[in-house]
């Protein structure tokens, strides 16, 4: 099955479970249930679950249901982080993926709760893997926790924005790279491989993604991107463009992606995986500035 279809199918099942769609009518809070679906649609690139399944496939994908659960868990955590980051107390963002942010479309309480519920649903998706692959599932849960919470996950990354002195390396590693490292490691573990050799691939893709995001934030307008731009400057956030300039940032992006390909551990599907990273490289590199 096409990876995109696999992800869509698994996401639909997991969200439907969290929404309680098989429960008797009126026994589930309907607005929060609707907010969960709103938070994960439209899907966009689904880049983290795609990386996860690509690595699982490169490693033999001998437990596809478990790999699907890992992919879904990553995407739900990612969507939860977007919902919470968009809140008035953080970015105070008005639109995302071309539609109003969740707290504007629903309410601030429902945005907090939808984020919380998606975080929990992510762990539930893995916990429900069944006893057949219990040891792998526990490892996946550990990896998800480590790269999501404190002290080194995406919560820590966001937490750095409340510090007077920022460790820039730790900031970037946590804020963006952590979930990409989770994606490569969880794909490998779901297929019965070791996590550690896959950390570098995730870290390099994550760094590339962060640099690409900084470039888009600096170069594109909001309409092109479907979300507000110029946010790094507006919130005085550290950015590769500020540090290296536009040309330097584009060079850094290419270096990261080259390093990512070089770091792929030897596995049955090594060549296909390198091809996937090249595809992302083309997509990520900004073609031309759309802003004046």
Residues in contact with a second copy by the rule CB under 8 A: 18-20, 23, 26-33, 36, 80, 84, 87, 89-90, 106-110, 112-113, 115-117, 119-121, 123-124, 126-129, 131, 134-135, 137-138, 141-142, 144-146, 148-153, 155-156, 158-163, 165, 167, 170
Q: How far apart are CA 58 and CA 54, in angstroms?
A: 6
Shortest distance (Å) from residue 68 CB to a second copy: 17
Shortest distance (Å) from residue 84 CB to a second copy: 6
**CA distances in angstroms from 33 to 38, 48, 78, 107, 117, listed in the order given:** 9, 24, 18, 13, 10
Shortest distance (Å) from residue 154 CB to a second copy: 9
Shortest distance (Å) from residue 82 CB to a second copy: 13
Nearer to a second copy by C-beta: 35 or 58?
A: 35
Nearer to a second copy by C-beta: 135 or 224?
A: 135
Tokens of 168: 């820039």
Strands 99-100 and 95-96: antiparallel
Nearer to a second copy by C-beta: 99 or 146?
A: 146
Nearer to a second copy by C-beta: 216 or 237?
A: 237
């Amino acid at each position: 099955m096409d990876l995109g279809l696999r992800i869509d199918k698994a996401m639909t099942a997991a969200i439907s479970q969290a929404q309680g769609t098989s429960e008797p009518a009126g026994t589930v809070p309907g607005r929060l249930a609707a907010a969960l679906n709103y938070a994960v649609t439209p899907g966009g690139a689904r880049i983290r679950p795609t990386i996860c399944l690509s690595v699982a496939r490169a490693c033999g994908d001998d437990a596809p249901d478990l790999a699907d659960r890992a992919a879904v868990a990553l995407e739900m955590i990612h969507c939860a982080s977007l919902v919470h980051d968009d809140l008035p107390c953080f970015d105070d963002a008005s639109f995302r993926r071309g539609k109003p942010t969740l707290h504007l479309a629903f309410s601030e309480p429902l945005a907090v709760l939808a984020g919380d519920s998606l975080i929990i649903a992510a762990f539930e998706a893995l916990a429900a893997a069944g006893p057949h692959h219990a040891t792998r599932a526990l490892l996946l849960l550990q990896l998800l926790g480590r790269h999501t919470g404190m002290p080194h996950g995406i919560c820590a990354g966001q937490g750095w924005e409340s510090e007077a002195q920022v460790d820039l390396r730790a900031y970037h590693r946590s804020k963006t790279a952590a979930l990409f490292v989770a994606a490569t490691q969880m794909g490998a573990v779901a297929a019965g491989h070791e996590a550690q050799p896959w950390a570098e691939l995730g870290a390099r893709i994550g760094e590339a993604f962060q640099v690409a995001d900084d470039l888009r934030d600096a170069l594109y307008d909001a309409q092109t991107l479907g979300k507000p731009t110029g946010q790094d400057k507006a919130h005085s956030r550290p950015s590769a463009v500020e540090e290296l300039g536009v040309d330097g940032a584009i060079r850094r992006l290419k270096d990261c992606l080259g390093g990512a390909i070089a770091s792929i551990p030897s596995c049955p599907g090594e060549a296909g995986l390198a091809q996937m990273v090249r595809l992302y490289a083309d997509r990520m590199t900004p073609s031309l500035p759309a802003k004046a």
